[in-house]
Structure 1
Amino acid sequence: MKEETTYKQLPSQHKNNLRKKTIFLIVFALVILLSASIAGIFIKPANLITDFTSKNLAPNFAHPFGTDWLGRDMFLRTIKGLSLSIFIGMFACAIGIVIAVILGLMSATMGKKVDAVICFLIDLFLSTPHILMIIIICFAVGGGLKGVIIGIAVTHWASLARLVRAEVKQLLAQEYVHIARQLGKSRFYIAVHHIFPPLLPLLLVGFISTFPHALLHEASITFLGFGLPPHEPAIGIILSESMKYLAAGYWWLAALPGLSLLFIVLLFDVLGENIKKLIHPKMIHS
C-alpha cells in the first residue's frame, strides 16, 4: 500500500507552489471580508431610504439585488447587514477566546478539583444546543445587541477551552519548563516565555474557526426574533421580513442575502483552513 506523502517529503518547488496558493487564498478571503466589513460602515441611513416608485424591482444593473417592498436597495441592505454581523461576531468571539483562555489555564494549573468543575462546565456547554442557550441568555440580559453578544460569547468558548487545557498540560510537562523551574524562574516568566507563545497559533485558528458558527447563530436568533431589534438592517431581520413576500414571487429578497451570508461563512472557513496549513505545514499532503 502506497504511503501518503508528507509535506517534508514534497519537492521544494511543490512546497513553494502550495505555500503561494495558501497565501493567495488567505489574502483573497481577507480582502473580501475586510471590504464587506468596511463598506457597511460607509452605508448611511440616507442610503437606505424608502422609494415607493422603485419597490419590488427584480435584480438589475441599478439594483444588483433588486429592491424590497419599500423600494430600498437590497444590495446596500445586505452589505450593511453583513458588516453588522461580522462586527458582532468578532466582538463576541474575542470575549469567548478570553473566557476559553482563562478557564483552560485554570483547569490545567489549579488542581484536580478545579479541573473537574471546569471539565463539567465544558461538557455541559458542549452538550446543550447553542441556539437554545443563546435564546435563554438573550432573555436573561434583556435582548438586543448586548444580549446577542453575551449569548454568543458565553456559548462559544467550551471547545477552545478544552484545547487550551490539553495544550497547557502538554507544555507544562516539557523538559524546558522543568529546567526553567529548577533555575528559579517565576510562574509569570514561564507563562510569558514558554506557555503563551505556543498558544497564540491555537488561539488564532480557534478564533477564525469559531467565527462562522457565531455568524450563523447571530443570524438564526435574529431571524427567530430573539436577537437584534427590527429597525437594525441585520441579515437575520432581512431574511425574516422577506419570508412573507416569497409567495408573491419576490425570491431575490431572501435568496440573494441568504447566499451572501453563506458566501461570507465559506470565506471564513477557507481563511481558517489555510491559516492552519500555513501554521502547521505538516498537514499538507500531496
Structure 2
Amino acid sequence: MSSRGNAASRMDGPASQAFHVPVLIGRFGGRRALAATCLAVMAVLASVVVAGRVLEPVAVATDFTARNLAPSWSHPFGTDWMGRDMLARTLAGLSTSVMVGLGAAAVSSVLALALAAVSALGGRLADAAVGWCIDVVMGVPHLVLLILISYALGRGALGVSVGIAVTHWPSLARVLRAELLQLKERPFIACSRALGVGGARLALRHMVPHVLPQYLIGLVLLFPHAILHEASITFLGFGLPPEQPAIGVILSEAMSYLTSGAWWLAVFPGVALLAVVLLFDRVGAALRRLVTPEEVQA
C-alpha cells in the first residue's frame, strides 16, 4: 500500500507540474493579451479625443455649396444641410462626449469611494445615512434626475457633468461598501485600531488601497453609462448647447432630414457612439479578468 502511495505521489509531483505548465503559460499569455488590448483601446480613444479637438474648427465651418452631400472620398461621412463635414463633426462630438463623460465618471467614482468609506468606518448612523442616500438616488430614474439637475444648473457642460456625477455613484458605492465591510473584519485592521490608528488614516493607508482594483473597474464601467446619458439628455435638448458639436446635438439635428434620405447624418455618428461605448465595456470586462484572475485548475 505504501509503495502504491509513493508511486502515486511521484506521478502527481513532476507529472502534474508538467501538465500545468502549458496552462500557466496560456493564462499568463492571455493576461498579457488582455493588457495589450486595453492599452490599444485607450490609445485609439486618446487619438479620437485629440483628433476631435484639432478638427473642431473644421467641424463648425460651413460651406453652402456642398450641402447634403452623400458619403464620398472627399467627405467620407458626407456633409449636412450647412455643408459641414460630418467626419469632422463626428470626431469633435465624440471628443466632447468622451471628455464630459470621463470627468463626470471620475467625480462620481470618487464620491462613491468616499461615501463607501464613511459608511464602512463611520458607525451605524453614518451607514444608515449613506444607505438612505443610495436608496433615494436609485429610486429615481437616472434620466429624469439628470434632466432636472441639468436644467436647474442652466444646462451646458457643467449641468450635464454635475448631473451625471450625482446620479451614477450608488451602484459602485454599494460594491465598495461591501468590500470595505469585509476588509474591516480582518485581523490587521483590528491590530491597527488597537494601536490607536485614526479612522481617516486607517481608511487611506490600510483599506482604500485594497479596493483599488474594484474601484478602477467601476470607474471604467461607469464611463459608457456617462457617455450614453450625456448624449441622451443632449438629444432631448436638456444638455449641451446646439452650437457645440456633440453626438447628441448631431443626432437631434439629423432627425429633421432623415425623411429626405440623408441617412448618413444619423448612421455614422450613432455607430461611432455605439463603438466607443462597446469598447469601454470590453475594456471594463478585460480589467475585471486581469485584477481577478481565475485560479489555475487541473
State if a TM-score over 0.5 links the two structures: yes
Structure 2 counterpart of 1:29, from 28, 38, 41: 41
CA–CA separation in structure 2 for the residues paired with 1:236 and 1:110: 41
CA–CA separation in structure 1 for the residues paired with 2:185 and 2:248: 46
TM-score, length-scaled by structure 2? 0.88
Percent identity for Structure 1 against Structure 2:
45
Match of 2:203 in 1: 191
Post-superposition CA distance 1:142-197 (Å, at most 9, x none): 21111101111100111111112111111111011112222333434422331121
- 1:107-186 aligned at under 5 Å gives the runs 107-186=119-198
Larger displacement relative to structure 2 (157-166 or 228-237):
157-166
Post-superposition CA distance 1:260-281 (Å, at most 9, x none): 0000000100111111111111
CA–CA separation in structure 2 for the residues paired with 1:182 and 1:42: 57
* CA distance 1:215–1:47, shift in 2 (3 Å): closer
CA–CA separation in structure 1 for the residues paired with 2:101 and 2:197: 39
CA–CA separation in structure 1 for the residues paired with 2:46 and 2:297: 30
Confirm whether residue 100 of structure 1 aligns to residue 132 of structure 2: no
Post-superposition CA distance 1:27-67 (Å, at most 9, x none): 22112111111111212425531111211111111111111
CA–CA separation in structure 2 for the residues paired with 1:66 and 1:149: 31
CA–CA separation in structure 2 for the residues paired with 1:189 and 1:119: 23
Match of 1:248 in 2: 260
Match of 2:26 in 1: 14
Aligned residue type for 2:159: G
8 Å CA contact 1:277–1:283 kept in 2: the answer is: no
How big is the shift at 1:109? 1.6
Post-superposition CA distance 1:112-159 (Å, at most 9, x none): 222112112111212221000000111222211111011111001111
* CA distance 1:111–1:137, shift in 2 (3 Å): same
8 Å CA contact 1:68–1:253 kept in 2: the answer is: yes
Uncovered stretches (5+) of structure 2, i.e. residues with no partner: 1-19
CA–CA separation in structure 2 for the residues paired with 1:187 and 1:140: 36
Larger displacement relative to structure 2 (126-135 or 243-252):
126-135
Match of 1:206 in 2: 218
Match of 1:4 in 2: none
Larger displacement relative to structure 2 (197-206 or 176-185):
176-185
Larger displacement relative to structure 2 (248-257 or 135-144):
135-144
RMSD: 1.9
Post-superposition CA distance 1:76-108 (Å, at most 9, x none): 000000000000011111111121122111111
How big is the shift at 1:284? 9.2
CA–CA separation in structure 1 for the residues paired with 2:233 and 2:134: 23
CA–CA separation in structure 1 for the residues paired with 2:26 and 2:186: 34
Match of 1:3 in 2: none
8 Å CA contact 2:105–2:164 kept in 1: the answer is: yes
CA–CA separation in structure 1 for the residues paired with 2:295 and 2:77: 40
CA–CA separation in structure 1 for the residues paired with 2:268 and 2:164: 25
Uncovered stretches (5+) of structure 1, i.e. residues with no partner: 1-7
Structure 1 counterpart of 2:100, from 78, 88, 94: 88
* CA distance 1:58–1:284, shift in 2 (3 Å): farther
Secondary structure of 1:281's aligned partner: coil
If asked which structure has higher relative contact order (CA below 8 Å, sep 6+), I would say 1
CA–CA separation in structure 2 for the residues paired with 1:179 and 1:9: 40
